[in-house]
Amino acid sequence: MYLKTQGLVLRVTEYRDSDAILSVLTREQGLMTFKARGVRSRRSQIKSACQLLAFSEFTVLERQEYYTVSEAVCIEMFQPMRNDIELLSLCSYFAQAAELLSQQDVNDGEVLSLTLNAIYALCKLKRPQPLVKAAFELRMMVIAGFQPMVDGCCVCGNDAPDRFDVAGGMAVCAKCSASGSLRLPISPACLAAMQHIVSCESKRVFSFNLLPEPLKELSDVSETYFLTQLERGFYTLDFYKSLRLTGQDLQPAAQ
Ligand SMILES: [Zn+2]
């Protein structure tokens, strides 16, 4: 039986001489595994549609619960990312996170939309990498059922809390927070950005601006919260951060 579906390629695993196994997050059926025959040979017609982070329309043949790609047409390959190793590595982190979360009991459709919107914000709208990364992580936590409580201090109700309690997933005042838990500082601008990210409509997740200092706070809070709640690290994130560090080393020193 043939099945037609659109999906984003989240992982490509080489298989045999010229085949590959694709992990594809599809619109209609969530995360699926496709076998792509001959896709690594130079003459393959489906090569570009089957590459990592391509958004494509697949026609697959289902046989005994295995799916083999028979046709694939690339809808969007996000070309700017293909020429920029830093951008590609950040998007690969998004892909690894999206694959992990769609294996769990979360809404795949929302995971797919957020991931596509994040890549679009980077590649087409040229939004800053730290802003997109932080908003992706925090919004993904909302989708995964770990919505942080940021309306006010969760202890006294004060509407200007200045700390984020990472384990509790809640904003608190410095004076209200229990000792022993990890609390990161948040300025009013950072708090406002967090409120926007967790409650805005899905199209507007990346539509905000922050000055460098509150953006640094947001980056710390989002990444720490994401990794703490998921209780794991990501090799794609480690690689991305190693590139960012090397990049900083290469900047000329300020006079
Ligand atoms: Zn308080």
Query: Residue 255: what pLDDT?
Result: 42
Ligand 1 mean position to 218 CA, how many Å? Answer: 20
Return the closest-CA partner of residue 147 out of 189, 194, 115, 190.
Answer: 194
CA distance 89 to 241: 9
What single-letter DSSP state applies at residue 254?
P
| Token reading at 204 | 């507007």
Compute the Cα dihedral for 54, 7, 219, 195 and give only its sign: positive
CA distance 226 to 236: 14
Ligand 1 mean position to 146 CA, how many Å? Answer: 21
CA distance 80 to 121: 12
Query: Residue 28: what pLDDT?
Result: 87
Question: How far is C-alpha 210 from the geometric centre of its chain's CA atoms?
Answer: 20
Ligand 1 mean position to 181 CA, how many Å? Answer: 15
Return the closest-CA partner of residue 10 out of 86, 131, 103.
Answer: 103
Ligand 1 mean position to 176 CA, how many Å? Answer: 5
Ligand 1 mean position to 164 CA, how many Å? Answer: 11
Ligand 1 mean position to 194 CA, how many Å? Answer: 17
Crossing angle of helices 129-143 and 108-123, in 10° steps, is 170
SS3 content of the chain, % helix, strand, coil (to 5): 40, 25, 35
Return the closest-CA partner of residue 51 out of 61, 43, 40, 60.
Answer: 40
Ligand 1 mean position to 154 CA, how many Å? Answer: 7
| Token reading at 97 | 């996170």
Ligand 1 mean position to 188 CA, how many Å? Answer: 14
Ligand 1 mean position to 162 CA, how many Å? Answer: 9
> Which residue positions in the chain have pLDDT lower than 70?
179, 247-255
Return the closest-CA partner of residue 133 out of 97, 107, 186, 101.
Answer: 97
Ligand 1 mean position to 158 CA, how many Å? Answer: 5
Ligand 1 mean position to 175 CA, how many Å? Answer: 7
pLDDT digits (tens, 9 = 90+) for 91-135: 999 999 999 999 888 889 999 999 999 999 999 999 999 999 999
The amino acid present at 222, given as its one-letter code, is S
pLDDT digits (tens, 9 = 90+) for 194-204: 999 999 999 99
Ligand 1 mean position to 64 CA, how many Å? Answer: 58
Ligand 1 mean position to 174 CA, how many Å? Answer: 7
Measured CA angle at 13 (ends 92, 66), to 5 deg: 120
Ligand 1 mean position to 171 CA, how many Å? Answer: 9
Ligand 1 mean position to 69 CA, how many Å? Answer: 56
What single-letter DSSP state applies at residue 77?
-
Write down the pTM of the prediction. Answer: 0.94
Residues 6+ apart with CB under 8 A from 228: 166, 167, 182
